Structure 1
Amino acid sequence: MTTTSLAAAEIETLLGRHPKGFDLTLDRIARLLAALGDPHLRLPPTLHVAGTNGKGSVTAFARAILEADGRAVHTHTSPHLVHWHERYRLARPGGGSGLVDDAVLAEAVRRAASANGGRPITVFEILTAVTFMLFSEAPAEMAIVEVGLGGRFDATNVIPRPAVSVITPISLDHQSFLGDRVELIAAEKGGIIKPGVPVVIGQQAEEVALEVLTTIADRVGAPVCVYGQDYFAYEEHGRMVYQDGLGLLDLPLPRLPGRHQIVNAASAIAALRQGPYPPSETAIERGLGSVEWFGRMQRVTAGPLLDRAVSGAEIWIDGGHNPGAGVAIAETLADMEERVPRPLFLIAGMINTKEPVGFFSAFAGMARRVFTVPVNMSEAGIDPDELADAAIEAGLDAEPCDSVEEAIALVSTNWQATPAPRFLICGSLYLVGEVLGKNGMAPR
């Protein structure tokens, strides 16, 4: 964010005053919201989305479909990639939505910080309070709120009764906060399930995760809609077929590439069909075709990065950073390779709360080489030499580099073969945010 941003200046002040990271409890956020007049109790009907992988994509699909149906929608996502404003998308009078205005966000941050009165709290909790303030003060028909971390004790989980809850695929991530086994993580994510509120459960790679989630839902009396049991989606003849208890839809493939995005789109559709504004089939078709989600299998089509690459090269960006995300990304690249074969090079940076060997293992036998780079936007970045060792342990050739630009140049300078290479910049949302900012591709 540039120094001219009022909101960024306010948030940077908070970051210097309060501890970084997460401290999972609802006591502080409840206290702050009470001081602000409980704005979380005045939200429009809300879609609450948790999960390890895909929650941002489900949020993006849901917003695109609702807006294609003419609905006014507020959307909260986290983390941001380039600008703090990305976390807050507000419905606009007359249709559509846009990132919150800088002055509006700055004022909301000031009000929340003032109401907190300097008491112990995390910045994420203050920013979550800002979400509820903004969403309660501007008219909208629905809100979509993405969980920050976990679910049970995430600051967004003060919403007493969302319209629908969604839990996307669960895998290992944030083990120091959520537990080191999938069933423990599922229990934390399942904490957003509320009595009597329908819950849509996305495709789960491990049966134990599904068992934990359905047990929680049964215990609290939440109606369950499970992928593979109550709703289905698959590709057929270049189309997406969706089916649930309400019938079958023949739809275009989602604009976002990857088999996993068919499942994410299906979860969004299932959730919306149980909500207060079931979308028309036409709106679903339009939403699948218009959806945007920055930093997830996003292709670089112009800018300084592409200018550095050998002519004809492809550059893709994905911020996935855990083993489950690695599998989904690798499957997408394998499908690309089947259609248009190209040698694949990874450019990866990661932070030290992740599991690099597990992430890299998904690309064994696919990637020609891994170039590991610093994560400049985080103090927790893994040293490129150490990260290269992890890639080698996963069965890949790897070498450290000083930057993404250097890695692209190393391949491109002497590349004479045909076809031109395919690059994937991956491993960290911090790295992706830095790349998008430098390349003039900040989310809008």
Structure 2
Amino acid sequence: MSAMDLTLERPRVKSSELLLTNARIVTETEVFTGTLKVQKGLISAMDRGNSRAPGAQDCQGAYLIPGLVELHTDNLEKHFSPRPGVVWPSHPAVLTHDAHIVSSGITTVFDALSVGDVIDDSNRLQHLRTLIDALAETRKAGMLRADHLLHLRCEVSFGETLQLFEDLVDHPLLQLVSVMDHTPGQRQFVREDKYRQYYQGKHGLNDSEMDTFTRNRKESARLHSDHNRRAIVAICQARGIPLASHDDATLDHVVESAGFGMCIAEFPTTLEAAKASHDHGLRVLMGAPNIVRGGSHSGNIAAAELASAGVLDILSSDYYPASMLDAAFRLACMEDNSYSLAQAIATVTTTPARCANLHDRGVIEPGKRADLVLVEPRGQLPVIHNVWRNGDRVY
């Protein structure tokens, strides 16, 4: 595909009007059977009861929910590097990722790209700018069905992270930044056996190589983590970019995150940290795969336990896009928490949108964007029939 092809603007033809009836409409507070009218990409009316107007689409009692808002997924990186040593052409990788996202009911996605890594000269470092450019180019050309924004995940223990971040912070797609520290013995990997298991499997290290790797990571964290964290936070505060903590495990971690003005607590690893985050006004984000699988792959707190405590605010697909909608419906069906279907759906729509300062979407009400998903539960499995973005059908 030529550069000329990519830069051509091909705006979608907007549907003048969309009328959906006999749908179980999920609002921020309730579920009712009704009719939804869309004009010029916005929800223009919402009424209880069914319509017999010509052209009305009969939803046959399926649920109509807001388009999902995903704050943290590394799905783009997986499509760009589908196997170790394999680098896929960047623009096709973005398009395939986009199709995967939309087919999962996600209409707004924050593509989470890593700034810094635990491995020197990794694919993430070599190709970071390539992925960002491909994302921006396909978006500008009108080739993407979901609304793609940028989330930079900053590995503060890596020596070059701050310089890399400073080079990217003014990118127009950047709307969320998280600070993370994957040093062994703390946060996500407080259990070093889990750290060894994960990285030996990921990078094929023998025991001696793993010992050296662990020592080097601890030394790098000692030299860089605190300075990089404070500098990145200060830059984001000056620009008004929403901030997220990552893998907070202790009360001290949470107090520091709250002091930095962070609005989201990504993947707290303990109940203590999740409760404290909630008390300090941070919205607690957990991985949807944690709900679907019944626990954390790292041996940390189960998301269901946070739901039982009433401190689970946002679900993210993390590494598996289809998990997001699945987890929301499972959350509403669990007997040991108080989440209604409306509250469960809000964890993947309303709350993440508001945390990211996207106040034009994430809820079904007049005047909001017509980002919508028509979904029918089959047992515990939600089956997506249609997805609309700005009133246009994209799936």
Report the TM-score, using the length of structure 2 for normalisation.
0.32
More helix as a share of residues: 1
* Larger relative contact order (Cα-Cα within 8 Å, sequence gap ≥ 6): 2
From the two aligned structures, give the one with the greater strand fraction.
Answer: 2
Give TM-score, length-normalised by structure 1.
0.29
